[in-house]
Amino acid sequence: MVKWLLVMILLIDKVNWPSAFPEAPEASVEVTNDHEFLYLKYKVKGAQLRAVTTEDQGPVWEDSCVEFFCQVPGDNCYFNFETNCIGAMVASRRRGRAEDVQPLSPEEMTQIKRHCTYPRKAIEEQDGLFEWTVDLQIPLVLIFREHEPQFPQKLFVNFYKCADKTKKPHFLSWNPIPLPKPDFHCPEYFGEIVLK
């Protein structure tokens, strides 16, 4: 699946495990780039809101969370950028879920600009109807640092919406994941996007 990065809106709407996790909040991501940054603008509309994790490199996936995983062609590692609705983030380079995990340094984390609907304050789970956004500005050099000065023209990626510890946990993806149970750490199921 090839998507051109010309301010394209991608729907994060694959309910890969409908029997166990049928919840499907509305989620999308607007993607574009220039020669320095990858820009991601997530929009979410759902029935629960939770943001217990306030610090970087904490378990943000348990909260109302959006995620971006990517792999440079030819690299056997991939990156995960996971952000809850208040902007706390987990980011690392890794070979697998628990294999060769290299968290981004605090200095690298500060290079990722984040703008969110909600301020960086803990939110205990609330019921209702909530609409929120997360805007990320990720320096391409963080992703392509092993490939400078020539940035590749494409990436293998997937985008996710999850909330593991809410009353209605869900695990949505942009590209389908044909596995028997939830697992986002599967680069073999990433889709392809082309950098302009």
* Tens digit of each residue's pLDDT (9 = 90 or more) over 43-72: 999 999 999 999 999 999 999 999 999 999
Domain ranges of the chain: 2-186
In tens, the pLDDT along 181-191 reads 999 999 999 99
Cβ neighbours of residue 34 closer than 8 Å, sequence gap 6 or more: none
What spatial distance separates the first Cα and last Cα of the chain, rounded to whole Å? 16
Instruction: Name the pLDDT band for 122 (thresholds 50, 70, 90).
Output: very high
Instruction: Give percent above pLDDT 90 in the chain.
Output: 86
Residue 44: CA atoms inside 13 Å, Cβ hemisphere, count?
A: 32
In tens, the pLDDT along 91-106 reads 999 999 999 999 999 9
Q: How far is CA 127 from the centre of its chain?
A: 23
pTM exceeds 0.75 for this model: yes
Confidence (pLDDT) at 35: 84
CATH number of 2-186: 2.60.40.1190
Confidence (pLDDT) at 196: 75
Instruction: Name the pLDDT band for 149 (thresholds 50, 70, 90).
Output: low
pLDDT at 132 over 80: yes
Are 136 and 114 in contact by the 8 Å Cβ rule? The answer is yes
Are 56 and 87 in contact by the 8 Å Cβ rule? The answer is no
In tens, the pLDDT along 163-180 reads 999 999 999 999 999 999
